[in-house]
Amino acid sequence: MDIKHLLERVEAGALSAEQALSLLGEGEELDIGFAKIDIDRHRRRGLPEVIYCPGKTAEQVVRIMGAMREKGQNVLATRATPELFEQVRAAYRGAVYHEQARAITLDVQDRPAPAGLVAVVSAGTSDIPVAEEAALVAERMGARVERIYDVGVAGLHRLIKHLDLLRGARAVVVVAGMEGALPSVVGGLVARPVIAVPTSIGYGTGMKGVAPLLAMLNSCVPGISVVNIDNGFGAGVAAAMINRVGDRPEPGSRKSKA
């Protein structure tokens, strides 16, 4: 639960003190039957619980979004289809579909002003959906994001043009399929944390992302971290957490409550 937002609603007259006490007394979990929503996650980790859409019905997604909105939490739903969005938009006019990232957002409060810098790099244009997922998540966690797309190892001159930007970032997300070499190249050029994301883009021997995953795990460049295949979401969270170190108090810390 975002206690600051709750208190602001009381101050503005949108909630009575009794209503606020009732909401505070509901604890850290909201049980809506088929789902148990971790409403305290934003306070603990700086990001509300995120809805992973595959496997859920449209009705379930709509109900989870509504429950989160009632608690004053911004909503992010990942791996959403345009068809699902049409049903979400019918329920919530403020919902936005991010086509490249394949995500739906529904904001009920202001997000933090962009700070620091996360660079999101893709090897090819086919890797952009995963890169955009990472970029969107990092932005929603308060990072300023710069995108550098289609700079794979088949034409390294394209990457070299962006070295100043990469070296100024606090964290770099590198998304690549095929042989997965780009994170090693970037890691050898910058003194920043590099988060490698293998994608399922590639021909037969790419094995739907296994080949770049193994290449990244076996990189000779020290300090590269690797997330799972197509996991732009995880990479975006990791990069944003690195980015905010030193800028903001740790969620849930005493300093954050001062």
The 8-class DSSP code of residue 109 comes to: S
Q: To which residue do tokens 């006490």 refer?
A: 21
Using a 10 angstrom Cβ sphere, with 0-12 exposed, 13-18 middle and 19 or more buried, the burial of residue 195 is buried
The alpha carbon dihedral of 224, 151, 80, 92 has a sign of positive
Q: What local confidence, expressed as pLDDT, does residue 248 receive?
A: 55
**Run means of pLDDT, 10 residues per run, the chain, 258 residues:** 73 81 64 77 79 95 92 92 96 95 93 92 96 97 96 92 95 96 96 97 90 96 95 96 73 45
Q: What local confidence, expressed as pLDDT, does residue 17 receive?
A: 79
| Closest of 215, 144, 151 to residue 178, by C-alpha | 215
Q: What local confidence, expressed as pLDDT, does residue 33 receive?
A: 77
Q: What local confidence, expressed as pLDDT, does residue 29 receive?
A: 74
Domain ranges of the chain: 28-106, 115-244
The 8-class DSSP code of residue 94 comes to: T
Cβ burial 89-127 (10 Å sphere, 16+ → b, else e):
eeebeebebbeebbbbbbebeeeeeeebbbbbbbbbeeb
**Whole-angstrom distance, CA of residue 172 vs CA of residue 47:** 20
Q: What local confidence, expressed as pLDDT, does residue 258 receive?
A: 37
For residue 188, list its beta bridge partners: none
CATH of 115-244, one of 3.40.50.1970, 3.10.105.10, 2.30.110.10, 3.40.30.10: 3.40.50.1970
